[in-house]
Structure 1
Amino acid sequence: MKFRRTAAAAAAVLSLSLTATACGSGDEDKIKIGIKFDQPGLGLRTPDGDHEGFDVDVATYVAKELGYDEKDIDWKESPSAERENMISRGDVKFVVATYSITPERKEKVSFAGPYFLAHQDLLVRSDDNSIKDAKDLNSKKLCSVTGSTSAQNVKKDFAPEAELQRYNKYSQCLTGLENENLDALTTDDSILAGYASQKNHQGKFKLAGLKLSDENYGIGIKKGDKELQGKINKALEKMVKEGAWDEAVKKHFGPANYKNEPAPQITEKS
């Protein structure tokens, strides 16, 4: 009787062990990637739950080169103000979310890339001809998102008297601009082009056409992870060489007649 109880207990332990191993294996087959959920043309979650955009295509390509199929990707929304925290906590393996490489950010995380070069610009209402230069923003209401450097750059370098408004998402800024509660939205031209090209926004907004800064988009990774940095850089170089990078640009930015810069050289190396 004692032997049977011991054998039964051992079998139960073995069963639990196998179950735990199976669960762990399933987790290892997934990769968590941070993207934006509200940026048309770059990172957008559609009503049916899919994800689309240039950043999504880049992230999917990189994940494939790392050994993950598209079905194995667990997309995580990464608001601008939370990107460093999500990377540091290990919530995501990497972040592809219009993430400009800056010295300040490199103190907290590392980057691979860059994979895209954008320029800061302004989005204004199509019937507003009062803003032709960044200096025209003095005494006007300027919007950007929390965690973004765009509005701070404008106030510091061009229009110190601009009234800054910050929201969690660009879509909130866009609503304020459409309702005339705001005068301009500032961020990268690639992001602004994505919004302006949406069917429900066509004809309502226009880009000012200013190149206020160079924004090199990088893929954010845990600080000091040189191995992952090297693998991602190789994936990006392959994507450009195969022509997949150009295809993604045309697919997502073509409808807005956005004139993108060529694929940038990889600079973030160990």
Structure 2
Amino acid sequence: MKLRKVTAATATVFALALTATACGGDDGGDNNSSSGGGGDKIKIGIKYDQPGLGLKTPDGSFTGFDVDVATYVAKELGYKPDQIEWVETKSADRENALARGDVKFIAATYSITDERKEKVDFAGPYLLAHQDLLVKKGSGISEATDLNDKKLCSVTGSTSAQNVKKDFAPDAQLREYGTYSECIAGLQSGSVDALTTDDSILAGFASQEQYKGKFELAGLKLSNENYGVGVKKGDTETVNKINDALEKMVSDKSWEKAVEANFGPAEYKNEPAPQIGNIVK
């Protein structure tokens, strides 16, 4: 793989206090103004615990590729960084957060699937990721079949490790931990031999300063994960505006810069920016 060495320069924004929303429907709430003026705010859902994608740092700021994408989109909708209120949206609550109106949109490693499209609308995709393996450099693990008799880690509730065992390495020994950080620690100590999930997530963790140069991505494409921006079902106007913003982010090279800044240190060989509406099965 080609090593990309860049200096992380992601946008830093600050969480603001919750603002009172007007009574009634979606028209007139603080999340729906596109002017960004008059003290309006916009609430955006992200992950708080995924380095390189959506991470709340100890000083209270937010970094990552999803944060950069969301900040750019918000700018195109008329909002400055200090008008953004970041809202933690865990995977299990993303659809509910949109339905309740807790956030205007969500950028949080949100894979577009037919099942999810029944509940929410999606702009994008803005990144094509793949299930992959993260291993120690020099481990000799380069294929999923190499995991037979090896210890494979993923987080509790994820289907990634089970898919590897079912389809590629039936003799792999599965280890489920509560967080990806625990899997990374196990990989570093040698208590597990590999970690599997989306390559973008793996690259984000491996890009952390304390892990640079210690791990590598196997470069496998065990699945296609089309990351989209989730929007409340039926809000076509916002979907169209976000799609316009994403296209502009690609054309002015901001997308490429964000990829390099957030994932480059992990030797992440990313796919080109996807075309809007093109879902890779």
Q: Specify the TM-score bucket, using the shorter chain as the normaliser.
A: 0.7 to 0.9
Q: What is the alpha-carbon distance in structure 2 between the residues aligned to residue 23 and residue 92 of structure 1?
A: 13
For normalisation by structure 1, the TM-score amounts to 0.80
1:108 aligns with 2:107: no
Aligned to 1:121: 132
Give the SS at the match of 2:209. coil
Q: Percent identity?
A: 68
Residues 132, 249 of structure 1: alpha-carbon distance in 2 compared, 3 angstrom cutoff: closer
Query: Structure 1 stretches of 5 or more lacking a match?
Result: 1-21
Matches within 5 A, 1:128-139: 128-129=139-140, 131-139=141-149
Aligned to 2:9: none
The answer on whether the counterparts of 2:216 and 2:267 sit within 8 Å (CA) in structure 1 is no
- For residue 208 of structure 2, the aligned residue among 198, 206, 217 is 198
CA RMSD of aligned residues (A): 2.6
1:252 aligns with 2:262: yes
For normalisation by structure 2, the TM-score amounts to 0.77
- For residue 50 of structure 1, the aligned residue among 61, 70, 87 is 61
1:97 aligns with 2:127: no
The answer on whether the counterparts of 2:53 and 2:67 sit within 8 Å (CA) in structure 1 is yes
Give the SS at the match of 2:240. helix
Quote how far apart the aligned CAs of 1:134 are. Answer: 1.2
- For residue 191 of structure 2, the aligned residue among 171, 181, 192 is 181
Residues 77, 175 of structure 1: alpha-carbon distance in 2 compared, 3 angstrom cutoff: farther
Which one-letter code corresponds to 2:181 in the other structure?
S
Q: What is the alpha-carbon distance in structure 2 between the residues aligned to residue 236 and residue 134 of structure 1?
A: 34
Q: What is the alpha-carbon distance in structure 2 between the residues aligned to residue 197 and residue 23 of structure 1?
A: 38
The answer on whether the counterparts of 1:79 and 1:168 sit within 8 Å (CA) in structure 2 is no
Q: What is the alpha-carbon distance in structure 1 between the residues aligned to residue 178 and residue 87 of structure 2?
A: 16
Name which one, 1 or 2, has greater alpha-carbon Rg.
Answer: 1
Quote how far apart the aligned CAs of 1:167 are. Answer: 4.4
Q: What is the alpha-carbon distance in structure 1 between the residues aligned to residue 168 and residue 68 of structure 2?
A: 34
For these two proteins, the number of residue pairs brought into alignment is: 247
Which one-letter code corresponds to 1:98 in the other structure?
T
Most deviating of 104-113 and 233-242: 104-113
1:81 aligns with 2:92: yes
Q: What is the alpha-carbon distance in structure 2 between the residues aligned to residue 166 and residue 90 of structure 1?
A: 33
Most deviating of 250-259 and 240-249: 250-259
Most deviating of 143-152 and 209-218: 143-152
Quote how far apart the aligned CAs of 1:209 are. Answer: 1.9
Quote how far apart the aligned CAs of 1:127 are. Answer: 4.9
